[in-house]
Amino acid sequence: MELGFLNAVYTTGGPCACAYLDTSRDTESSERAMVLRRRQICAALTEQGADAATVDAVAAVAGSDRGIAGRHGQAIVAHGGQVVLTEELPQPPERDQATFTALPDLMPLAVQYAPDIRYVAATVHSLPDPQRELPDVLEVAFQAGTWPSSAVAPGDCHRATGSAVGWSSGARHAAERIVELAGRNDAETIVLSGITWARDVLADLLSTRWRRRLVTTSGDGYPPRPGRALMEDTLAEVFQGQLRTADRARLGLFLSRRTSGHGAVEGLPDVVAALRRSHVAALLLNDPVHFPAQLQVDAGAAPSDLPEAAREPYGALSFHAGPAHAAVIRAAVRTGAELVVVPQHELALADGVGALLRYAGPQRTALFARPAHR
């Protein structure tokens, strides 16, 4: 998973207000609850010393996602009276939280956005025909997205129609548009559902390349709930436990390098050491993430044996003692590392964290003390 979308947060210089809150709209009292949550978030930021302009900026966007149905959450980062990041969360946080610190913790946001699989979802359904004597009309609704973030931030929903009589003609047109959308969005897979016989005709008309990446399912999934992805429940089932193709390859490389003892590390001290040297190509995290509350490290200068170009991250990445989540995710973002979130039952990592390095040479000794576990 690419983390570049978080970069803007770390260019502000801090301090930043960072808030995670439940913005679900699944009960009749949701709006009243949102007013209370907003008030509590703002009070917490004020108590921690946040300036009034920054608190007001958070308040202005907290709960502004009224067009999204069901359970979901929101992540907000603000600095200097301006919102620098606001993202919808597919799931609400376990509890609302707000901090005003030099280093915002973006780990909960990043983990919720994994595995970041690009897809096109399409479903075939019939349209009611007021002219009953006319043949039934079939419609294909299709949408590109990145799972799971698109569950609450869907793209445009496209449609193509055709007569049920001679459906192959309408299906051919729909297949061409679906393939074009999949290619334009660099999708890894097409997930196709709906009326079985019509779905199968459409599937047969996809190009060979996309038939190899096709997943067919029963059900319809149309229409989507307001502000939610087309076929959301179906997509959740299809992508459960899956990784992006590139991330699966990174995981395989990590395992082979770990076995050989070169080019992969695990455990918080060794991963932090590799991040400080900008050696991490991919950060691996167990889900759920359970780091120590505080990261105890030596916050010394960049090692003198690094080339000048490699020392640049150290000014931004000096690992002072502090929240481990926040420091590790910042380091990954600022050094261009990618993120692979792996269920703990699939691969248990020391301290819940590992790193695939950019090279496969002998490892250096960690510069940091192993933190005490809770």
Tokens of 38: 């907003």
Alpha-carbon gap, residue 260 to 137, rounded angstroms: 60
Structural domain contains residue 345 = yes
Within this chain, do residues 199 and 100 fall inside the same structural domain, yes or no? no
- Nearest CA to 122 out of 236, 196, 199 is that of 199
Does 180 share its domain with 270?
no
Domain identity same for 222 and 295 = no
CA torsion, ordered 107, 109, 113, 114, to nearest 10 deg: 10
Question: Read out DSSP for 43-110?
Answer: HHHHHTT--HHHHHHHHHHTT--TT--BS-EEEEEEETTEEEEEEEESS--SS-EEEEESS---HHHH
- Return the structure tokens found at 206: 């996809």
Task: Return per-residue pLDDT of the chain as tens, 374 residues.
Answer: 999 999 999 998 889 999 999 999 888 888 899 999 999 999 999 999 999 999 999 999 999 988 999 999 999 999 999 999 999 999 999 999 999 999 899 999 999 999 999 999 999 999 876 655 555 899 999 999 999 999 999 999 999 999 999 999 999 999 999 999 999 999 999 999 999 999 999 999 999 999 999 999 988 889 999 999 999 999 999 999 999 999 999 999 999 999 999 999 999 999 999 999 999 999 999 988 887 766 654 433 344 444 444 444 444 455 555 578 899 999 999 999 999 999 988 999 999 999 999 987 655 544 444 444 43
Identify whether 369 is part of a domain.
Answer: no
Q: Kindly tell me the sign of the dihedral angle through the C-alpha atoms of 363, 365, 367, 370.
A: positive
Q: Which burial class, exposed, middle or buried, applies to 10 when counting CB atoms under 10 A from its CB (0-12, 13-18, 19+)?
A: buried
Domain boundary among 87, 113, 139: 113
Q: Do 228 and 70 touch, CB atoms closer than 8 A?
A: yes
| Residue 360 phi, psi dihedral angles, 5° rounding | -125, 30
CATH number, residue 303: 3.30.1330.30
Name the strand (E) or helix (H) holding 215: strand 214-216
Instruction: Provide the domain limits for residue 314.
Output: 245-357
Burial 64-76 (b: 16+ CB within 10 A, else e): ebeebeebbbbbb
